[in-house]
């Protein structure tokens, strides 16, 4: 397969990872663009990006880590508002913990491959994932709204949410039900399917909800690549159906970690 085609197929999951790592579609996509722009003038980097997923994510990690160090070294102006709250959380929890957790759970790399991406041993990855899970478990429990039109999946999500120590306050199968439920219950987290029972979009429902109040959102969809193009406002946190408990746990933890959804992405 030509490098361009291979790379194009791998970009949607990289965007998913970058967005979850940064807590924002805008910031995550910006780092992916920076990597691709660097590859335009660097033929060796282009070859590396198109080789396989491990090589692509390893190159992204280099660019992202270098960028974080440069930003810290420049002494950027102190953030305010939501960005200040995000930075305060980042200062408390190691980014390496979150990288390891997201690579193993959300992106489904083996511990060995995740270690190769991060430049550490597989055993170290296992330790970091355990630490990240412990940090997530220390998050304050919250109330959850589930927007899902398939009863069995809704029940699975409800059980998972309760196992994580949260409380489901409402479940909705349509856009109008979702907005009404949010208005009534004021949850601290929303889990949303993309395609709803009345043929409306879960994204539309969330956009309506975010006009009422800010809340972290995790989308669950069978077609994540449709929402990972980087060409329009899109969700920050996406989990693929059929979902794995570890992936949902990581996405929920990241969404609560960053504490708010200022945008659909």
Helices 53-74, 3-22: crossing angle, 10 deg rounding: 50
Using the predicted structure, report yes or no on whether residue 156 has a pLDDT greater than 80: yes
Q: Which of 56, 79, 102 is the C-terminal boundary of a domain?
A: 79
Higher pLDDT, 134 or 14: 14
Q: Quote the CA–CA distance of 114 and 107 in Å, as a whole number.
A: 10
- Give the model's pLDDT for residue 110: 96
Would you say residue 264 lies in a domain? Answer: no
The percentage of residues in the chain with a pLDDT greater than 70, rounded to a whole number, is 84
Q: Is residue 80 packed enough to be buried (19+ CB in 10 Å), middle (13-18) or exposed (0-12)?
A: exposed
**DSSP letters along the chain, please?**
--HHHHHHHHHHHHHHHHHHHHTSHHHHHHHHHHHHHHHHT-HHHHHHHTT-HHHHHHHHHHHHHHHHHHHHHHTPPPP-HHHHHHHHHHHHS-HHHHHHHHHHTTS---HHHHHHHHTS-HHHHHHHHHHHHHHHHTSPP-EEEEE-S-HHHHHHHHHHHHHTT-EEEEEESSHHHHHHHHHHH--SEEEEESB-TTS-BHHHHHHHHHHH----EEEEES-GGGG-SSSS---S-EEESSPPHHHHHHHHHHHHHH---SS--
Residue 174 belongs to some domain of the structure: yes
User: Is residue 88, in this structure, part of any structural domain at all?
Assistant: no
pLDDT of residue 7: 84
Signed CA dihedral, 94, 99, 104, 107: sign only: positive
Per-residue model confidence (pLDDT) at position 132: 83
Tell me: do 130 and 158 sit in the same domain. no
Where in the sequence is the domain holding 69, given as residue range(s)? 1-79
Residues 147 and 6: their CA atoms lie apart, in Å, by 34
Give the whole-number percent of the chain exceeding pLDDT 90.
Answer: 50
pLDDT, residue 265, reads 42
Q: Are residues 113 and 174 in the same domain?
A: no
Does residue 75 fall inside a structural domain? Answer: yes
DSSP 158-206: HHHHHHTT-EEEEEESSHHHHHHHHHHH--SEEEEESB-TTS-BHHHHH
Residues 6 or more apart whose Cβ sits within 8 Å of residue 64 = 18, 21, 31
The reported pLDDT for the residue numbered 227 is 77
Flag whether 85 is in a domain. no
pLDDT in tens, 98-109: 899 999 988 999
- Within-domain flag for 161: yes
Between 36 and 228, whose confidence is greater?
36
For position 194, which CATH number holds?
A: 3.40.50.2300
Does residue 86 lie in a domain region? Answer: no
Q: How far apart are CA 194 and CA 131, in angstroms?
A: 31
What is the average pLDDT across 185-205? 91
Asked whether the predicted pLDDT for residue 264 surpasses 50, the reply is: no
Contact 63, 30 (CB under 8 A): no
Greater model confidence, 31 or 258 = 31
pLDDT band at 160 (very low <50, low <70, confident <90, very high): very high
Structure confidence at residue 5 (pLDDT) = 77
Q: What is the CATH number of the domain that holds 32?
A: 1.10.1740.10
**Are residue 126 and residue 153 in the same domain, yes or no?**
no
Count: domains in the chain: 3
Say whether both 6 and 67 belong to one domain.
yes
- pLDDT per position as a tens digit, 8-31: 889 999 999 998 888 888 889 999
Does a structural domain hold residue 226? yes
How much is the average pLDDT of 150-155?
A: 93
**Same domain assignment for residues 159 and 244:** yes
């Amino acid at each position: 397969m030509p490098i361009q085609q291979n790379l194009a197929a791998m970009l949607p999951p990289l965007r998913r990872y970058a967005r979850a790592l940064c807590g924002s579609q805008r910031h995550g996509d910006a780092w992916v663009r920076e990597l691709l722009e660097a590859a335009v003038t660097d033929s060796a980097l282009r070859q590396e990006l198109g080789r396989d997923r491990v090589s692509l994510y390893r190159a992204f990690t280099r660019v992202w880590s270098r960028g974080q160090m440069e930003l810290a070294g420049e002494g950027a102006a102190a953030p305010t508002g939501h960005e200040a709250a995000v930075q305060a959380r980042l200062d408390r929890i190691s980014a390496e913990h979150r990288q390891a957790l997201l690579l193993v759970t959300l992106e489904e790399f083996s511990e060995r491959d995740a270690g190769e991406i991060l430049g550490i041993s597989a055993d170290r990855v296992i330790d970091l994932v355990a630490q990240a899970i412990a940090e997530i478990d220390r998050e304050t429990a919250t109330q959850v709204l589930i927007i899902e039109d398939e009863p069995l999946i809704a029940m699975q999500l409800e059980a998972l949410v309760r196992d994580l120590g949260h409380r489901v306050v409402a479940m909705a199968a349509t856009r109008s039900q979702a907005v009404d439920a949010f208005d009534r219950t004021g949850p601290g987290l929303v889990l949303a399917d993309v395609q709803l029972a009345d043929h409306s979009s879960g994204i539309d429902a969330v956009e309506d909800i975010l006009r009422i109040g800010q809340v972290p959102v995790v989308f669950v969809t069978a077609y994540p690549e449709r929402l990972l193009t980087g060409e329009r406002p899109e969700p920050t946190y996406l989990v693929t159906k059929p979902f794995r408990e570890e992936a949902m746990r990581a996405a929920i933890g990241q969404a609560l970690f960053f504490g708010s959804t200022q945008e659909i992405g």
